[in-house]
Structures are given as structure tokens and as C-alpha cells.
Amino acid sequence: MAIKALQLCFFPKLLQVQEYPTLPFFCSPLMTQGGNDESEERKCRHKWPKLVLIGHRGNGMNMLQSSDIRMRGIKENSILSFNTAAQFPIDFVEFDVQVTEDDCPVIFHDNFIVSEDKGLFIEKRVTDLKLPEFLSYGPQKELGEVKMPLFRKMKDGTFFEWKVEKDAPLCTLQEAFEKVKHSLGFNMELKFDDHIVYTERQLKHVLQVILQVVNEYAKGRPIFFSTFQPDAALLIRKMQSRYPVYFLTEGGSQMYADARKNSLGEAVKVCLAGGLQGIVSEVSAILGDPEAVTRIQGEKIHLLTYGQLNNIVKAVYMQLQMGVDGVIVDLVQEITEAVCD
């Protein structure tokens, strides 16, 4: 009854919820060190003793069109945002990793970066930029300097200047490892464009570049990978066994040509086929099908959720009761305080 009441309360708004892409590290970073020994992996697949809390893009994503100042407080996917989240009892920060044309892993959510020149908006694909140009957007490390004003394009085609209360420069993956509190775990979303068909060679190159930085700078930090790209998820699982891999899914709220992306059931198949450790689902798919938690975990697959409803304390509490392993949230302070209470 409690679940149904929550659904009736929130589901009329679900059609307005946009994509908020976003598991936990269930044991030490050495969980599968020494190979793909299935017995060793199974030792790590125990029930997590508490709800794992993950900060979305750090201390929360930016919604520039929102009237909620908390969604425009700190620049998302920045060192400042990550270290702000680290001040609260949070386990991980989630962020988006892409690779520039000159093979540098950088942290940025959107596929395209947008600036403005003489009234015209200029869009460039992040992966087509070299690192110096990427870092030239937005505020610079030199106090007060802005080379290229940064804008953001919404799904409806409108543009917003990227203004927040506490701005910060764009950053690389290496900088995140070097400058973010070491005890804070990293949920690294491997970002690929849904509108591009990637070859295995292309995916492998990108993943190798990212793994090179991870292997050099992680130094025992808790890490897990996640991605909406099923082939990338399967491939990075084959390329390394040290860090868990989770498959991201919208749970059927949107349909794709690749059927593996279209439901929780398909996500389970991907995990079982590739030996992935878990699923990160849009939260409404879980609240709409509470028995899915039991089905997924019955396959020894862990379950995280992301989405706007995770900024509502009652929805997070309901998932705790349902047995969800962790949640990715924007309102880090509010949700961590509520869960701790």
C-alpha cells in the first residue's frame, strides 16, 4: 500500500521528468585482483549493509532553467562540486567521462559544448576537441578570467548561459584523481553518443585511454564504471576485472533501436551475458515495478537508481525499504541528512 501511495503521488509528474544520467563498490578495490576467478567475485556479492549514497555529477547536476537555486548552486562535474559533496556522508560521486581528440579523458556531461560569438551559438562535439580548446571554455584557473563563455542547449532547443552561484573550471579525469578527497569513491560513467554506431575498435581505444589514467592515478580509490552503451559495458568488463561494471538503463521510458537498452529485463540479460555486477536504473522504472528489485537481486545483480524522484526523501526511503542498494542524488546535503536521521 505504501508503494502504491507513493506511485499515485508522484507518477503524474513522471512524463515531465527529463533524463538525469547518471554501483557501489561492494568490497575493496582489489575485489577481483588476480583474474576472473568466479569464486573470488562471488565473495564480494554480499548484501550491502546500508543504502549507498552517490552525488550526481558531484554535489548535484545543474538545471539552468530551474527556479530552484540548489540546481544552480555549484558547477556540476567540477573539482569544486566533488569536494563539496565530500563534506557530507556520501560514498561516491558520479561523473561523466569523455575522451578528447588528442586522447585525454575529461569530465563533461553533454555530447556537445556550446559557446556564443556575436549572437550566434556555436556547438562543437567534445570528442572532436583537443584538450587546450576544451579547457578554454568557461572560467579559467586564473581568477576572474573567461576565455569562451559557456552555454547549454536544452532538449527543446533553447540555450541558457551557464551561470551558477559558485563557478569552477572544467577538469580532466587525472585532475579529479589528484585533487578530490581520496576516500571519496568515483562512479565513472563512460559517456557515448546514443546517435552514433561505434565499432569495437573505437570503443576499445576510448576505454584503453581511460583505463590508462585510472591505473596510474586511482591508487586504491573505490571505483566502479557505468554506461548506457551496452557494448562498452561488456568490453570494459573483458578488459579489466579490478573494478565493477554497471549497466545504465532508462528502464523502458525511451525506446532505442538497440533492444538491450529498452527495459529492465534486457538490462538483466546484458549483465548475465557479460558478467556485469549491477544495473543503474531510472528510478521510476523501479517504483513502477517494485518486484523488479527481488528479480534483479535474485540473479546476484546489484541495483542502483538515478533520476529526479531521488531528490524526494520519501522516494529514497521507499527504495531503502524495497532493498535497492543505492541512489544517485542531486540534493546531496538534504538526502544525506535525511538518510542519516
In the chain, where the domains are located: 52-110+166-340
Cβ atoms 214, 223 nearer than 8 A: yes
Predicted confidence at residue 340, as pLDDT, reads 83
Cβ atoms 324, 303 nearer than 8 A: yes
pTM metric for this prediction: 0.87
Predicted confidence at residue 6, as pLDDT, reads 52
The parts of the chain modelled with pLDDT lower than 70 are 1-49, 143-144
Predicted confidence at residue 49, as pLDDT, reads 54
Predicted confidence at residue 313, as pLDDT, reads 96
Q: Nearest Cα to 176, choosing from 74, 81, 75? A: 81
Tell me the per-residue pLDDT of 90-143, one tens digit each, with 9 for 90 and over: 999 999 999 999 999 999 999 999 999 988 999 999 999 999 999 999 999 886
User: Looking at residue 109, what DSSP letter applies?
Assistant: S
Predicted confidence at residue 244, as pLDDT, reads 98
Predicted confidence at residue 9, as pLDDT, reads 52
How many C-beta atoms lie closer than 10 Å to residue 7's C-beta? 17
Q: Nearest Cα to 52, choosing from 30, 29, 26, 28? A: 26
Hey, what's the cell of 67? Answer: 527556479
Q: Could you name the CATH architecture of 52-110+166-340?
A: Alpha-Beta Barrel (3.20)
Q: Where are the beta strands (DSSP E) in the chain?
A: 52-56, 92-99, 105-107, 112-117, 120-125, 151-153, 159-161, 171-172, 185-190, 223-227, 245-249, 278-282, 302-306, 326-329
Hey, what's the cell of 268? Answer: 538483466
Predicted confidence at residue 167, as pLDDT, reads 96
Q: Nearest Cα to 261, choosing from 208, 194, 172, 175? A: 194
Predicted confidence at residue 118, as pLDDT, reads 87
d(CA 226, CA 30): 18
